[in-house]
Chain A
């Protein structure tokens, strides 16, 4: 593989697929499927080619606009590669789920593939300009997918989503301009190594005065909107519920991960010291995100909104762990806890991506079968007419709940294992979120699948073989990771060790 630009190829493939899909009308979904398969194959190849020591591999570097510090610089470590695999899987799931797009299918699937290209670009870029290009460009297809194929209130939802995220990006951009101004570099690797010795802060302070904390806040703002972190989450419920379900799968499965990825790739490496200083307020916000997300999910009547808020809650755990581990390690035990928490975050990103996407897929299937209904009280007793539907969705729901043996458990377990020694108050309060989430998920199961069957749903169609076939690998993956998390951890752990070794809090 040496020297072969596989990461470039990875980003180019969906773009080409998008161009073809745009002109292939009814066949666009097939084109998109083939493209997404190719993307998944490439992502898996990347996954197998990672350097064993957890450092950045498969590097491609070329000059671009040197006077602006802009380089074409690509590379992945375990974190990036896992996100590539996740994006590829979720994109496939989303395309699979979108078999009812009759209005301009060419454009729809072209936008989905462009979004995939944006994700691939974001997860492989190692230069700020290059990274930001894809970070912003992924917004455009997402916006139009919501705007053109969304539900009744799609207009305001799409705009809110777009303007919020852009506003967050401005904070990010300004902070990076300041960093560039002081250091003359936009390269993540270079800036990380400067930050790991504390030089970055000295240089920035020497050039611009004591602004380092403001820069950290600017960067955090960009990611806080994207993930989201309370109180920057208000765009999310509207966007998730108004977007067509296959698009919601992409939004929650992959785009929210861009934010967490940014925290790990950019915020902690370069502003770890500043984040450590404001760790307490950040932890408060993360705990609020966990707890309020769960409570808000409990209060919803619309299944999509239930899962939207439950996503806020699940990503709250990631942020909880990220802020909790931002503390100077004074003992070997602390380092172990940090490593556990970070492993947990990365696993949780992957697991939540798969599980949440699956849940929204099931909601889409419910809607198809019920003439568009998705209220939590609209159904009942579906277990009887549709046992396989209930069984498979049950897997996804229990995975989301964090049942041991399924994928959701491992990540959350590692997160709590890591966070308790580092920030026990925050961890304790967050357990409340776990409990409420469990109650929410169980309520969904109860109201939708158990109890007496209303007359109108007596003939509720079960999953047909095509759907079973499409869902089987996803459910299988949940089980597989739940039972053998080492499949991921073995490759991610070296990266975790490597990352922690370069972070300075």
Chain B
């Protein structure tokens, strides 16, 4: 059943492309129906799939000569991420309700991107996974280059180049693995059991991990993320931060870590306490957490604050993966879900609800607008999203970070201390942005009025209310009752960590 999420999205994209131009309402309505259908299927599939381990959905030979199969399957991790994609898709459509320029094309690219993402999360054949992964990159480029804002061509090109460099690294690693294994299959399971030599894993692991890690915003390869997020139209930044960065993290876990588990073994010597690739990547994750938070603290552009916060939050995911223990990796997967929902929400508030009305994202200018009085809905939505994002208990972010922290304690206690710094700075930057953008007391001067959008702001529309409600509810439900997702994630992580690939 879950496979229909992919087909529906691609079919929807095709129909959107063929819709008559100028009928914006039709294009929107149709996109919403497709996205909702995807979410419903994802939800039903999730409910049906929890507790059944890995379930094969489709398995037909595709390129028999090379052992490539069209193999879709889902375990608990896939289910959670498919559900996330469904949520992000619906919210993305709702927050793109005001797109008037080439509406049908916009939603065509949008749905194609969603279809690719669903595909990645459901592929258990390496080649197929890689195909979907590449499919997802192309629409992203166009979404930014056509509908973007600040330096959109630059940002779109940067994102595409980073993505392609990353995927070529992945491709090299995967081809080498296929060749080395000598097995006649590209199935993840088969390759996982192929017993690749340790010396091979030692160089293939970092290659593939970094390749995927680029898209996950791994420091120091994160620089595409802030510029890309800022330039992208709201729905695209929601998807970029919400699900595309998760593609990278998912690849790290599903491909790099499960195919090359011995790549994380100690080297046998250590330099300044770094004795394995695992230590290296954990260190990069830690730097990402702290660096992203510190940089977010000094941004003057509201959207850049959120952009850098994504780098920091994705650091938690990567750190969780590198703990290599049950609770840490579970936390990493939960953080993928949580950050997907929350980053989507934050970008929606900043990009759609605020920017589309005020036409500025400069905190110095927003300060003078007293948005808490003029856009109370946006202000309180940001309060909730900010609270959730800084990891206040009761929201999904807390449970996820909690697990990552426990996992990190178990792996190396000093990691946790460094993360503690990141959390404190996280509170500071969120609160600074909140204060300056919505709750400032700065009085505007007379000449500010015409320039800073002192005109009447358009009222909040129903799609915005619906989108905000959808995402906050998701975060709150998972935060208060994490068992919903943990029941799916925990067994899947257990099997994955037990080795042998799957």
Question: B413 near A68 (CB under 8 angstroms)?
Answer: no
Question: A163 near B387 (CB under 8 angstroms)?
Answer: no
Contacts of B481 in A (CB 8 A): 64-65
Give the residue of A66, A137, A162 whose beta carbon is less than 8 angstroms from that of B394: A137
Bound: A10/B336 CA distance, A = 35
Kindly list the 6 A-B residue pairs having the minimum CB-CB distance in the complex, ordered from nearest: A133-B393, A166-B427, A181-B409, A167-B424, A177-B406, A65-B482
Question: A162 near B405 (CB under 8 angstroms)?
Answer: no
Query: Does A278 have its Cβ within 8 Å of any Cβ on chain B?
Result: no
Contacts of B168 in A (CB 8 A): none
Chain B 423-448 against A: per-residue CB contact (8 Å), 1 yes, 0 no? 11001100110010001110000000
How far in angstroms is the closest Cβ of chain A from B123?
28
Query: Does B496 have its Cβ within 8 Å of any Cβ on chain A?
Result: no
Contacts of B440 in A (CB 8 A): 155
Give the residue of B327, B394, B413 whose beta carbon is less than 8 angstroms from that of A178: B413
Bound: A136/B391 CA distance, A = 10
Question: B435 near A155 (CB under 8 angstroms)?
Answer: yes
Query: Does A148 have its Cβ within 8 Å of any Cβ on chain B?
Result: yes
Q: What would be 15 A-B contacts, judged by CB atoms less than 8 Å apart?
A: A64-B483, A67-B490, A68-B399, A68-B403, A70-B482, A137-B392, A137-B393, A159-B435, A166-B390, A166-B427, A167-B424, A174-B417, A174-B420, A177-B409, A181-B410
Query: Does B486 have its Cβ within 8 Å of any Cβ on chain A?
Result: yes
Contacts of A133 in B (CB 8 A): 393-394
Chain A 207-222 against B: per-residue CB contact (8 Å), 1 yes, 0 no? 0110100000000000
Contacts of B417 in A (CB 8 A): 174
Question: B423 near A162 (CB under 8 angstroms)?
Answer: no
Central interface residue in A66, A178, A211, by most chain B CB within 10 Å: A178
Chain B 392-427 against A: per-residue CB contact (8 Å), 1 yes, 0 no? 111000010011011001100100110010011001
Contacts of B409 in A (CB 8 A): 174, 177-178, 181, 208
Contacts of A159 in B (CB 8 A): 431-432, 435
Size category of the A interface is: 20 to 34
Question: B413 near A208 (CB under 8 angstroms)?
Answer: yes
Given A166-B424, A181-B410, CB of A68 within 8 Å of CB of B431:
no
Bound: A66/B410 CA distance, A = 19
Interface positions, chain B 363-409, Cβ under 8 Å from A, are: 372, 383, 387, 390, 392-394, 399, 402-403, 405-406, 409
Question: A211 near B431 (CB under 8 angstroms)?
Answer: no
Query: Does A140 have its Cβ within 8 Å of any Cβ on chain B?
Result: yes
Query: Does A232 have its Cβ within 8 Å of any Cβ on chain B?
Result: no
Query: Does A170 have its Cβ within 8 Å of any Cβ on chain B?
Result: yes
Query: Does A317 have its Cβ within 8 Å of any Cβ on chain B?
Result: no
Question: A177 near B405 (CB under 8 angstroms)?
Answer: yes
How many A-B pairs fall under 8 Å by CB?
83
Contacts of A136 in B (CB 8 A): 392-394
Given A137-B394, A163-B427, CB of A174 within 8 Å of CB of B486:
no
Assuming A67-B490, A68-B399, A147-B435, what are 14 further A-B pairs, CB within 8 angstroms? A65-B482, A65-B483, A65-B486, A70-B482, A133-B394, A140-B383, A147-B439, A148-B372, A162-B427, A163-B427, A167-B424, A173-B402, A177-B402, A177-B416
Minimum CB distance partner of B490 in chain A:
A67
Contacts of A163 in B (CB 8 A): 424, 427-428, 431
Interface positions, chain A 166-219, Cβ under 8 Å from B, are: 166-167, 170-171, 173-174, 177-178, 180-181, 208-209, 211
Minimum CB distance partner of A153 in chain B:
B441
Bound: A190/B203 CA distance, A = 47
Contacts of A65 in B (CB 8 A): 399, 481-483, 486
Interface positions, chain A 138-166, Cβ under 8 Å from B, are: 140, 144, 147-148, 154-155, 159, 162-163, 166
Chain A 44-87 against B: per-residue CB contact (8 Å), 1 yes, 0 no? 00000000000000000000111110100000000000000000
Bound: A209/B413 CA distance, A = 10
Query: Does A132 have its Cβ within 8 Å of any Cβ on chain B?
Result: yes
Bound: A155/B370 CA distance, A = 13
How far in angstroms is the closest Cβ of chain A from B366?
15
Central interface residue in B372, B399, B483, by most chain A CB within 10 Å: B483
Minimum CB distance partner of B401 in chain A:
A173
Given A67-B486, A68-B399, A133-B393, CB of A174 within 8 Å of CB of B435:
no
Query: Does A129 have its Cβ within 8 Å of any Cβ on chain B?
Result: yes
Question: A170 near B424 (CB under 8 angstroms)?
Answer: yes
Contacts of B483 in A (CB 8 A): 64-66
How far in angstroms is the closest Cβ of chain A from B396?
12
Bound: A170/B422 CA distance, A = 10
Bound: A163/B428 CA distance, A = 6
Contacts of A208 in B (CB 8 A): 409, 413
Bound: A181/B412 CA distance, A = 12
Question: A211 near B413 (CB under 8 angstroms)?
Answer: yes
How far in angstroms is the closest Cβ of chain A from B331?
10
Bound: A147/B436 CA distance, A = 12
Contacts of A155 in B (CB 8 A): 435, 439-441
Minimum CB distance partner of A103 in chain B:
B373
Bound: A100/B413 CA distance, A = 51
Interface positions, chain A 242-287, Cβ under 8 Å from B, are: none
Bound: A67/B394 CA distance, A = 17
Central interface residue in B403, B432, B435, B490, by most chain A CB within 10 Å: B435
How far in angstroms is the closest Cβ of chain B from A172?
11
Given A133-B393, A136-B392, A211-B413, CB of A174 within 8 Å of CB of B405:
yes
Bound: A450/B411 CA distance, A = 67
Bound: A166/B435 CA distance, A = 16
Minimum CB distance partner of A168 in chain B:
B424
Bound: A65/B406 CA distance, A = 15
Contacts of B403 in A (CB 8 A): 68
Contacts of B482 in A (CB 8 A): 65, 68, 70
Bound: A166/B423 CA distance, A = 9
Minimum CB distance partner of A132 in chain B:
B393
How far in angstroms is the closest Cβ of chain B from A198?
22
Question: B420 near A129 (CB under 8 angstroms)?
Answer: no
Minimum CB distance partner of A140 in chain B:
B387
Bound: A154/B439 CA distance, A = 11
Question: A68 near B439 (CB under 8 angstroms)?
Answer: no
Question: B424 near A162 (CB under 8 angstroms)?
Answer: no
Bound: A70/B486 CA distance, A = 13
Given A136-B392, A140-B387, A208-B413, CB of A68 within 8 Å of CB of B402:
yes
Minimum CB distance partner of A178 in chain B:
B409
Interface positions, chain B 5-57, Cβ under 8 Å from A, are: none
Bound: A137/B435 CA distance, A = 18
Bound: A486/B283 CA distance, A = 59
Bound: A162/B383 CA distance, A = 13
Contacts of B399 in A (CB 8 A): 65, 68
Give the residue of A66, A170, A181 whose beta carbon is less than 8 angstroms from that of B423: A170
Contacts of B432 in A (CB 8 A): 159
How far in angstroms is the closest Cβ of chain B from A378?
25
Minimum CB distance partner of B428 in chain A:
A163
